[in-house]
């Protein structure tokens, strides 16, 4: 499954990998024809009624196992910072992830604490190297496609040079895919892609170039993070507000328009 997943990463022909937040959304996205899906830390946390970052490793890994078992396409997990600081502990998290049926996972360089910020570049690379050793199985165990994330641009550090240096260090550490969420400008995205020899993932956000434009830049994978989960919750707010304040049922228009696709996904 990991080999199948990695083969979908083609520079200039990006894999569209939407993020599911529960079994139902995973099944629906797979039924709509997406060739791979990912988890979302913020979306899964929201499904538990919590903010991002307040879900345990045990909960996340159980969630990963459930989603992997629910669909026949590759599933990659957002494992945040590996739920640990030290490389050995990160490796243990990836080892456990490899037992869930996942095809891939990501490890980021954000500490999880505003005070600590992102990890020192050298430590961040050591953490990726430890994760890669386990993800690649040492020739004996399950293989996972390891994505290494540089979190600068969603953590208030608009330092493209440092981001590139981090991604290059992660490439040297053996990461299969590189990811710097928060990049929006075409020139910045192009600079990142030109600076490395691994497939690059882009998180689509307001202001990010369109899918065809990202393809022209050489992007190999595109993800949405928690956006689909929160779009669904936003629709729930709209429907509930209409019911409470207007006493009407216009939300049924959307339900009826897509009832067939939803029913087919859950057969």
Q: For residue 264, what pLDDT is reported?
A: 97
Considering only CA atoms, which of 200, 249, 196, 195 is closest in space to residue 221? 200
The residues spanned by each domain of the chain are 2-226
Q: What pLDDT is recorded for position 142?
A: 65
CA distance 193 to 178: 9
Helix (H, G, I), strand (E, B) or coil at 170: helix
Q: Evaluate whether the domain defined by 2-226 bears CATH number 3.20.20.60.
A: yes
Contact 77, 106 (CB under 8 A): yes
The encoded tokens of residue 48 equal 């538990």
Q: How far apart are CA 26 and CA 89, in angstroms?
A: 29
* pTM for this predicted structure: 0.96
Length of the chain, in residues: 267
- Determine the pLDDT at residue 114: 87
CA atoms within a 13 Å half-sphere pointing along the CA-CB vector of 248 = 6
Nearest 5°: CA angle at 20, between 174 and 110? 45
Residuewise pLDDT in 10s, the chain (267 residues): 999 999 999 999 999 999 999 999 999 999 999 999 999 999 999 999 999 999 999 999 999 999 999 999 999 999 999 999 999 999 999 999 999 999 999 999 999 888 889 999 999 999 999 999 999 987 665 699 999 999 999 999 999 999 999 999 999 999 999 999 999 999 999 999 999 999 999 999 999 999 999 999 999 999 999 999 999 999 999 999 999 999 999 999 999 999 999 999 999
Structure-block tokens of residue 34: 């997406």
Extended beta strands in the chain, E state: 15-17, 19-20, 37-39, 75-78, 104-108, 145-149, 177-179, 200-203, 221-223
Token look-up 């080892």 returns 95
Phi and psi angles of residue 7, each rounded to the nearest 5 degrees, phi first: -65, -20
Distance CA 128, CA 169 (A): 9
């Amino acid at each position: 499954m990991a080999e199948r997943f990695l083969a979908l990463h083609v520079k200039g022909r990006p894999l569209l990998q939407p993020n599911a937040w529960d079994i139902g959304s995973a099944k629906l996205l797979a039924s709509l024809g997406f060739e791979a899906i990912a988890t979302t830390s913020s979306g899964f946390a929201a499904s538990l009624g919590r903010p991002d970052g307040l879900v345990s490793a045990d909960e996340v890994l159980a969630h990963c196992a459930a989603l992997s078992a629910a669909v026949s396409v590759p599933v990659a997990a957002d494992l945040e910072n590996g739920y640990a600081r030290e490389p050995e502990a990160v490796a243990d998290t990836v080892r456990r992830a490899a037992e869930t049926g996942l095809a891939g996972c990501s490890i980021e360089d954000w500490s999880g604490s505003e005070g600590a910020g992102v990890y020192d570049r050298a430590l961040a690379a050591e953490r990726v190297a430890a994760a890669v050793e386990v993800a690649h199985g040492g020739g004996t165990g399950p293989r996972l496609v390891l994505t290494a994330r540089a979190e600068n641009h969603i953590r208030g550090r608009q330092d493209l040079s440092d981001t590139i240096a981090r991604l290059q260090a992660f490439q040297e550490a053996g990461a299969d895919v590189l990811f710097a969420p928060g990049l929006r400008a075409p020139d910045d995205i192009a600079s990142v892609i030109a600076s490395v020899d691994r497939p690059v993932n882009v998180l689509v956000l307001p202001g990010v170039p369109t899918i065809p434009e990202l393809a022209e830049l050489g992007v190999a994978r595109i993800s949405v993070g928690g956006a689909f989960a929160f779009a669904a919750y936003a629709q729930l707010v709209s429907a509930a507000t209409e019911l409470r304040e207007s006493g009407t049922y216009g939300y049924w228009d959307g339900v009826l328009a897509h009832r067939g696709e939803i029913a087919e996904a859950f057969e």
